[in-house]
Structure 1
Amino acid sequence: MSLIFNKKSSWAWCICALLLAGFLTNSLSNYLVSRNNVRKTLAESTLPLTSDNVYSEIQRDLLRPVFIASLMANDTFLRDWAIAGEKDRDAIVRYLHEIKIKYGTVSSFFVSDKTLKYYYAHGLLKTVSEDEPRDEWYFRVREMDEPYEINVDPDMANQDALTIFINYRVRDYAGNFIGATGVGLTVTKVNRLISRYEAKYDRQIYFVDASGNVVLRPSNSTMRGYDSLQEIEGLGERVADLLAGKTDSLTYKRLGDRRIMNCRYVPELDWYLIVEQSEATMMAPLRQELYLSIATALLTTALVAGICIFVVRSQKAKAECQNQELKESTRLIQEQRAAIEKETSELGALNLKLQTLNSEKDDFLGIVAHDLRNPLNSIIGLSELTLSELPDDDSTKEFKESLSHIHRSGEEMLELIDELLNVARIEAYHESFETQLIEWNPLLERTAQRFAEDASRKHIQLKLEIDATGETELKGVEEWMSVIVNNLLSNALKYSPEYSKVTLRTERTEHTVITRIQDSGPGISPDEQSKLFQKFVRLSAKPTGNEHSTGLGLYVVKQMCDRLGINIRVESGLGRGAIFILEQELHS
C-alpha cells in the first residue's frame, strides 16, 4: 500500500480525482439540461399539441350536428307545419324520427313557441315551462341573438344521459321566432376520444367545469378517485389561477410524482380540457442514460487509476523489465483506444438514430399535411357549391356568411399546409439535385398573371418591367424558383395598401440577372430585417387586407435560394416599402 499512497504518486491520484469530477460534472450537467428541455417541451409543446388535437376532434364531431340542426331550422316542411297550427302531430314525429335515423343522432326535437310543446322522435315529450329549471335552455334560446347554441344537459328522452345539444332558432318567412329545433350527441363519443388519446400518448385527459369539478373522464382513468381539481394534493390555490386563465400550465406533485398540467378552455361546452403528464415517465430514459454515464465514468477512472498504480510500481521494477512494461502499457493504451472507438461508434449510432427520428418527424408532417389537403379541398368545394346554389335573399344571409367563413378558413388552412409541405420538403432534401435551364421571363409573367386577380381586388397596379432580360435562361429547379417568386410577390400584394403599386423588375449585367420585387407597404425596420428569414416569424407590419400569413413563406424562400445558389437580400426602411432582390449568375 505504501507504494500506492506516497508523495511521488500523489499527482496520479489528483489526475484520477479531476478526471472523475469532470466525468460526473459533465454527466450531471447534461442530465439537468435534458431534464429542463423535457419539462419545457412538455409544458410549451407536447401537452398543448395533445390538447389542440383533442379540441380539433371535438370541433369536428360538433360540426356535423350543427349542420343538421341548421338544415332542420331552414326546412320548409318544419316551418310550414308550425305556421299551419301543428295540426298533424304524426307528421312532425315521423319527420323527427327520420332525422334521427338518417343522421344517426341520439335525439332530434322541435319545441313550438306558440304551444310550448316539446316534440321528439317518438311523440310529444312534454310542454316546456318557465318555472321548470330543466326548460331554462328553451327560453334562453328564444331570447338570444345567435342562430344557435351548443350546451350540455341530461336528455329526458334518453334516460337523462348526458348529451351535447345543438339548439337552433327557427324563424318563419317573415323572420319571426316560431320555435327551436336541433339534435343531440352523446358525450360517449368524446369519452372514447379521450380514452384513445390517453392510450396513445400515455397522458391523463379529462374535462372540468368552471368550478373545477371533474365532469368527464375515461372509465379507467386514475382520476376516478377525485371529483374536483381542488381535491388533488399539490394543486391547492393554484386551481383558481388555472381556471381564471391567468396561466395555462403548471407543475405540481401528486403522490410523490411530479406532474405537468395543461389547461384549455372549450367554449362550445363551457368546460376546461385538462391534459397532464407524469414527469417520471418522460425522465426514465434520461435517468438510465445518467446512470450509464456515471458507471462509465467510474469504470474509466478505475482504469486510469489502475494505469497510474501500474506506472508507480513500474518505477521500482528492474531495468530488464522496462521493455515488457512498455509493451504492457501499449496493450493497455490500445484497449483504451478500442474502448473509445467503441463509444464513438455508439455515439455515431445514437446520432444516426436521432437523424432517423427527425426524418420520421418530417415524413409524419408531410403525410399529415397531404392527408389534410383532400378533406380541405372538399370543404372548400362544397362551400363554394353551396354558396352558388343558395338564393340571394335575407333568409340565407347568415348561412351564407357562415359558409363564406368556412370557405375562407379552408383556403387559409390549405395555404398553411402548402407552406408546411414546402418546409418539410426543403428541410428533408439533403441530397444533390438536378438543375435545368429555365426561361426566366415566362416564369415571371405566369406568376404575375396568377396574382392579377388579387391585385385587382385591392386596386393595386401590378407593373412588370422585364423586357431588358430578353430570352434569358437561368439554371435551377423550376418548381423551387416558381415558389420563390410566388411567395415574394404574394407578400408584396399582402402588405401593400389599396390603390398602390407593386413592381416586378429585372435587369441583366454581364454575368448576372437581378430581379427586384418592390411593394408599397409600411417597410421593415433594421431590427426586424435580421429576423426576416426565420421560421414562424411574424413582424410588426400586418397585411392590409386582413390576408392570412403563416410566417413560413420567407423562410422557405431563403432555404430554396441558398440551395440554388441565389443571393437574396432586402432593402427597406420604415415608411419606404420594401424591395426584395434576387441575384443569380447567368448560365454560361
Structure 2
Amino acid sequence: MDTIFSKRFGWAWFVSLLLLTGFMLISISSYWVTRGNIRETIQESTLPLTSDNVYSEIQRDLLRPVFIASLMAHDTFLRDWVIAGELDEDAITRYLHEIKVKYGTVTSFFVSEHTSKYYHSHGLLKYVHPDEPRDVWYYRVRDIEAPYEINVDADLANADEMTIFINYRTFDYKGNFIGATGVGLTVNSVNQLISRYEAKFERQIYFSDSSGKMVLRPMNSPLLKYSNLSEIEGLSEHVPDLLSDKRNRLSYRREGQTRLLHCRYVPELDWYLIVEQSESMMLAPIKEQLLINIILALLVTFIVSYICISAIRRHQSRLERRNLELSRINATNEAQKSELLVTTEELAQANEQLKSLNKEKDEFIGVLAHDLRNPLNSVIGLCDLAEEDFSDFSKDDFVSDIKKSGERMLDLTNRLLDVSRLESFNGQLRTELVCFNSVIKSVVDQFHSQAQKKKISLHLNLAASEELQFDSNRDWLDICISNLVSNAVKYTPQYGQVGIVTRCVDTRVELEISDTGSGISEEDQRKLFGKFVRLSSRPTGNEPSLGLGLYIAKEMCNRLGMQILVRSQLGRGTSFIIVRELG
C-alpha cells in the first residue's frame, strides 16, 4: 500500500480524485433537487389532498345526521305534540327512541321552549336553565339565524362521552320557535376514519382546538403522550401562527426526523385538522438511488485508478530491476554495519561491567584487608605476649581479647558469605509458615549482652502481631531483622534506647526498629543501601562495620516480597521499618 500511495502515482490519484469528485457532485446535486421536489409535492399536493379527503369524509358522515335532525324538526307529530301541551311524555320518549334505533344514532333529544324540559330517548333527562353552564348551547341555538348548528360537547345521557350534536331549531306552523331537536354521533366514528386514513396513507392525523389542545387522535397514535401542540418537540414555537391562519403548512424536526405538516380549519367542529408526514419514508428510494450512484462512482474510480497505476508500475519495473542489485549490495552493507554496531555496543557494555566488577573487587579487597588487619594484628600481638612474660595480664583478659578478634573475623566472614549466597542465588526461594514474633524475639535475644555492655535499653512491643504467621524463609527473615537490630545497637550511645515495635495497618504488618543515635544525614540516606558503603556516622562503641549489613537486608527483603523504609534526622535518631503485605 505504501508503494501505491507514493509520489510517482500522484497524477493517477489526481485524475481518480477529479473523476470521483465529479460523480459525487452530480449524484449529490441530483439527490438535493429530487428531495426538494418531493418535499414540495408533499407540502403542496399530498398533505392538502389528504386533508381535503378527511374533511370530505367528515362532511359526508355529518350530512346524514343533519338530514335526520331536519326531518325531526319538521315532523308533524313532534310539532303537534308540543302545540297540544306536551301531555304524554311516553309518546315523545317512544318517538325519540325509534329515531335513535332506526337511524343508529348514539342519542336523540328534544328541548321544549315552553316547559324547558330536556327529553331523551329514555325519558325526561332534566330541565334547562340559562344559568346552567351545560345548557348554554340551547340558548345559543335559540338565538342563531341558521336553521341548525353542529356542536361537539359531552353527552350527559351517555356518561359525558364526547359527542357531535346536530342541534336543529324547531318552529310551529306559524313560525314561532318551540324548541330544539336533533341527534348525536360519538367522536369514535371520526376517530375510526382517522385511523383508516393513517394506515392507508402512512401519515399522522389529529385534531386540535383553537387553544392548541389536542382533542382527537387515534388510539395507537405516537402523539398520545402529548396533550397540547405546544408540548411537541420542534412544533411549540410555530403553534400561535399555525392556529391563527398565518401559516397552514410548515416543516419541523421531531425525534431526529423532519416532519412536513398541513393544517386547515374545520368550521363545523370549530377544530383544526392537522396532517403530518415524515419525509424519511418518501426519501428512502432516492437515498437508495444515491447510495447506488456512490457505489458505482467508487467502482469506476477504482477501475480507472487500477489502470493508471498498472501502467505506471510497468514503466517503473524496468528502473527497479536496474536498481535492485545496487539495493541488495547496499542492504548487505547496512546489515554488516548493524552487526558491527551491535557487537561494538555489546563489547562496550561488557567493558563497563568489567570495570564495575573490577572496582567492586578493589573495594572488596580494600575492605577485607582493612577489616582483617586489626583483629589479625591483635592476635599476633597477643601471641607475642604469650611468648614473653604476660604476668601483667589475666588469663580472662587474654582469652577475651583473642575471642573478640576471632568474633570480628567471623562476623566479616559471615557477612561476605551472606553476600555471596544472596548474589549467587537465582532459584525459587523455599518458604514455610513462620511465626513473626518468634523470629523477632529470637533475634533480639542475640543482642541482649551487647546492649547491656553499652547500658542500652531494649524495648519490645509485639502485641499487634501476636500469633501472626505468614509464609517466608525463616533464615533470610532472621538475617534481615538481625542486621537492622545490630545497626541500631551499634549506633546508639551508652544509656540510649532501642525500640522494636510491630503494627498492623489495614492489610499489612510493619516492624519498626528505632534507635536514639546521632541520625543519618540526607546525603547518607541516598546511598544507605549500597554495597561497602561507609557512612559519616560511626558506631558508638568502636564496633566494626563493613557496609554490607543494610545492603544484605535490603536485597533479602526484596526477595521475600517486603519493603524497608528509613526515617531519620540528624541528632534525633533513626527508624528502619520492614513492611509486609498480608492480603
Scaled by the length of structure 2, what TM-score is found?
A: 0.53
1:40 CA displacement = 1.1
Equivalent position amino acid for 1:55 in 2? Y
Q: How does 1:30-429 map to 2 (within 5 A)?
A: 30-315=30-315
> In the aligned structure 2, how far is the partner of 1:9 from the partner of 1:188?
72
1:5 CA displacement = 6.4
> In the aligned structure 2, how far is the partner of 1:7 from the partner of 1:117?
99
Equivalent position amino acid for 1:50 in 2? T
> In the aligned structure 1, how far is the partner of 2:91 from the partner of 2:5?
104
1:11 CA displacement = 4.2
1:181 CA displacement = 0.4
> In the aligned structure 2, how far is the partner of 1:142 from the partner of 1:41?
46
1:194 CA displacement = 0.8
> In the aligned structure 2, how far is the partner of 1:177 from the partner of 1:276?
45
The SS at the match of 1:237 is helix
1:3 CA displacement = 7.9
> In the aligned structure 1, how far is the partner of 2:190 from the partner of 2:20?
54
Preserved CA contact (<8 Å) 1:170 1:178? yes
1:15 CA displacement = 2.2
1:232 CA displacement = 1.1
1:198 CA displacement = 1.2
The SS at the match of 2:236 is coil
> In the aligned structure 1, how far is the partner of 2:196 from the partner of 2:164?
20
> In the aligned structure 2, how far is the partner of 1:37 from the partner of 1:129?
58
Preserved CA contact (<8 Å) 1:257 1:278? yes
Preserved CA contact (<8 Å) 1:212 1:243? yes
> In the aligned structure 1, how far is the partner of 2:3 from the partner of 2:178?
104
Deviations 1:543-575 (A, max 9, x none): xxxxxxxxxxxxxxxxxxxxxxxxxxxxxxxxx
Equivalent position amino acid for 1:285 in 2? P
Deviations 1:361-383 (A, max 9, x none): xxxxxxxxxxxxxxxxxxxxxxx
1:203 CA displacement = 1.3
Preserved CA contact (<8 Å) 1:198 1:205? yes
Deviations 1:180-236 (A, max 9, x none): 000001110000111111111221111110000000111111111100001112123
Preserved CA contact (<8 Å) 1:110 1:120? yes
> In the aligned structure 2, how far is the partner of 1:172 from the partner of 1:260?
52
1:283 CA displacement = 2.1
The SS at the match of 1:67 is helix
1:288 CA displacement = 2.2
Deviations 1:42-80 (A, max 9, x none): 111111111111111111100000000001111111111
Equivalent position amino acid for 1:156 in 2? L
Deviations 1:366-413 (A, max 9, x none): xxxxxxxxxxxxxxxxxxxxxxxxxxxxxxxxxxxxxxxxxxxxxxxx
Preserved CA contact (<8 Å) 1:54 1:194? yes
> In the aligned structure 1, how far is the partner of 2:43 from the partner of 2:17?
39
> In the aligned structure 2, how far is the partner of 1:291 from the partner of 1:22?
15
Residue 291 to residue 108, structure 1, CA distance change in 2 (3 Å): same
1:315 CA displacement = 4.2
> In the aligned structure 2, how far is the partner of 1:74 from the partner of 1:169?
10
Preserved CA contact (<8 Å) 1:42 1:260? yes
> In the aligned structure 2, how far is the partner of 1:304 from the partner of 1:182?
79
> In the aligned structure 2, how far is the partner of 1:7 from the partner of 1:77?
103
From the CA coordinates, give the structure whose radius of gyration is larger.
2
> In the aligned structure 1, how far is the partner of 2:24 from the partner of 2:2?
29
Q: Structure 2 unaligned runs (5+)?
A: 319-583
Q: Comparing 260-269 with 233-242, which one deviates more in the overlay?
A: 233-242
What is the match of residue 403 of structure 1? none
1:16 CA displacement = 1.2
The SS at the match of 2:25 is helix
> In the aligned structure 2, how far is the partner of 1:16 from the partner of 1:54?
54
1:286 CA displacement = 2.2
Deviations 1:443-497 (A, max 9, x none): xxxxxxxxxxxxxxxxxxxxxxxxxxxxxxxxxxxxxxxxxxxxxxxxxxxxxxx
1:10 CA displacement = 4.7
> In the aligned structure 2, how far is the partner of 1:217 from the partner of 1:105?
22
> In the aligned structure 1, how far is the partner of 2:182 from the partner of 2:105?
10
> In the aligned structure 2, how far is the partner of 1:2 from the partner of 1:245?
65
> In the aligned structure 1, how far is the partner of 2:64 from the partner of 2:71?
11
The SS at the match of 1:210 is coil
Equivalent position amino acid for 1:197 in 2? Y
Deviations 1:285-309 (A, max 9, x none): 2222222211211111001100111
The SS at the match of 2:71 is helix
1:238 CA displacement = 1.4
Deviations 1:341-373 (A, max 9, x none): xxxxxxxxxxxxxxxxxxxxxxxxxxxxxxxxx
Preserved CA contact (<8 Å) 1:3 1:312? no
Deviations 1:150-180 (A, max 9, x none): 0001111111111000000001111111110
> In the aligned structure 1, how far is the partner of 2:13 from the partner of 2:169?
85
1:310 CA displacement = 2.0
1:26 aligns to 2:34 (yes or no):
no
> In the aligned structure 2, how far is the partner of 1:7 from the partner of 1:167?
87
> In the aligned structure 2, how far is the partner of 1:40 from the partner of 1:190?
29
Equivalent position amino acid for 2:164 in 1? I
What is the match of residue 574 of structure 2? none
The SS at the match of 2:173 is coil
Deviations 1:82-124 (A, max 9, x none): 1111111111111111111110000111111000101111111
Residue 202 to residue 310, structure 1, CA distance change in 2 (3 Å): same
Q: Structure 1 unaligned runs (5+)?
A: 319-588
The SS at the match of 2:115 is coil
Q: How does 1:488-527 map to 2 (within 5 A)?
A: none
Q: Comparing 95-104 with 229-238, which one deviates more in the overlay?
A: 229-238
Preserved CA contact (<8 Å) 1:4 1:312? no
1:7 CA displacement = 7.7
1:312 CA displacement = 2.4
What is the match of residue 369 of structure 2? none
The SS at the match of 2:70 is helix
Identity, in percent, stands at 65
> In the aligned structure 1, how far is the partner of 2:6 from the partner of 2:138?
93
> In the aligned structure 1, how far is the partner of 2:4 from the partner of 2:164?
79
> In the aligned structure 1, how far is the partner of 2:292 from the partner of 2:14?
24
The SS at the match of 2:273 is strand
Scaled by the length of structure 1, what TM-score is found?
A: 0.52
1:34 CA displacement = 1.3
> In the aligned structure 1, how far is the partner of 2:285 from the partner of 2:4?
39
What is the match of residue 367 of structure 2? none
